[in-house]
Amino acid sequence: MRHYDLVVLGTGSGNMLLGGFAHLRVAVVEPDRFGGTCLNRGCIPSKMFVVAADAAEGARAAARLGVHARVEPVDWKAVRDRVFHRIDPLHDSALNYRREKGADVYTEEGRFVAPRVLQVADERITAETFIVAVGARPVVPDIPGLDTVPFHTSDTIMRIDDLPASMAVIGGGFIAAEFGHVFGAFGTDVTIVQRRPRLLMEEDEQVSARFTELASKRHRVLLNAAVTSVEGDAGGVAVAVTCPDGDHVVRAAMLLVCVGRRPNSDRVDAVAGGLELDAHGHIVTDSAYRTSVPGVWALGDVVNHFQLKHMANAESRLVRHNVLHPQDVRTLDNRVAPHAVFTSPQIASVGLTEQEARRRGIEYVVSVRDYADTAYGWALEDTTSFVKVLANPVDRTVLGAHIIGPQAATLIQPLIQAMTLGLTVDRIGRDVLYIHPALTEAVEQALLDL
């Protein structure tokens, strides 16, 4: 067996933590592309598609401002190639960089055969320290007939050769929302099949309801819908769906399945490595990201339910520090974990939703202010976007914030900072100047209202 000081499994955020280990003998195990989900089939390419979709949608909507524009047929191949001609070369450069820095890079799949013993192809390797950062993958549901028809997940949909005339989307979460926006803006006729009563059900109930209302104007949306079977159809697929109003058949040229993601702990035989898993298959760690096996750390989507790159990046920085400084082990407080959905309209959220506060019996006060209450909202002719803030009525701190509308992911940042730093709504509402006439005035008004 070949022995190392450190072995890192996975090169998403796992690749980012390797700075500072030049004095150690290091190996990296990555059977797929360097950069992980985010770079190759997740956040980065999808947002590059979203920017193009926003441009197309913005041009069509400009008539409300007196600007009459027309979108010619979208050049799908040009959009796709702009994305991947930039992303794809990064794999080779990252792999070569690691080798040049002295790391042994294994490009075959690694599987634990015992605690801190990894089988890679026909070789076994051991190490004093392992860091498991192998991410997650799309769930493929058990739907009769699904294995007999071509379908896509978020892993493959961005690399298709031609823009489909129609698309059936199974799922109602953030991936469905984002790709529904992208393909709808590019001219595809989109049908979303959601088994629950609204889209984006994990968002604050007002945000979820508003988004469902707006999405239903752009797409055909079937709610409380159970997919009973899938079969091939002339030119595509036929999805059999049972809804409260009866049975339907959704016919489409292409099928996108996005019903969730599962951790890749099984792909590395985490149990054989002695690693404890939770009920969902995530590797169990403490707040310092130590696993049940001494010397083995884990981070990212294989560990937590957030499925957020910014969370994995923070974990990566923390684990690097803890491995390098075992006498000064730090922990990560993930109670303030913001996220955004880059659909149309954009959505951002942090902290408690109103329904969660009610369910947990947490006292709160709430303010909702429309973009339309601000001068920039007037400029946008916006009638549907809003900022919602929940606060503790006793200590006046922010409990949660939820925004739906243009620039939501940017507008929410001062509220994230307020929650992280424990600032009161009074301080951030009254003691901070907000630029007029920027959209941040909607945040200011919500805080002043509280």
Alpha carbons 21 and 382: distance in angstroms, whole number: 51
Give Rg (Cα) of the chain.
Answer: 24
Alpha carbons 396 and 164: distance in angstroms, whole number: 51
Instruction: Answer yes or no: are the C-beta atoms of 393 and 448 closer than 8 Å.
Output: no
Kindly write down the DSSP assignment for every residue of 76-127, as one continuous string.
Answer: HHHHHHHHHHHHTHHHHHHHHHHHHTT-EEE-S-EEEEETTEEEETTEEEEE
Is 280 annotated in the active site?
Answer: no
Alpha carbons 432 and 423: distance in angstroms, whole number: 12
Residue 320, classed as helix, strand or coil, is: helix
Alpha carbons 403 and 300: distance in angstroms, whole number: 26
Closest of 430, 435, 365, 442 to residue 398, by C-alpha: 365
Alpha carbons 341 and 47: distance in angstroms, whole number: 10
DSSP 163: -
Catalytic pick among 3, 280, 325, 436:
436
Burial label, 318 (beta-carbon count in 10 A; 0-12, 13-18, 19+): buried
Instruction: Answer yes or no: are the C-beta atoms of 152 and 257 closer than 8 Å.
Output: yes
Catalytic (active-site) positions: 436
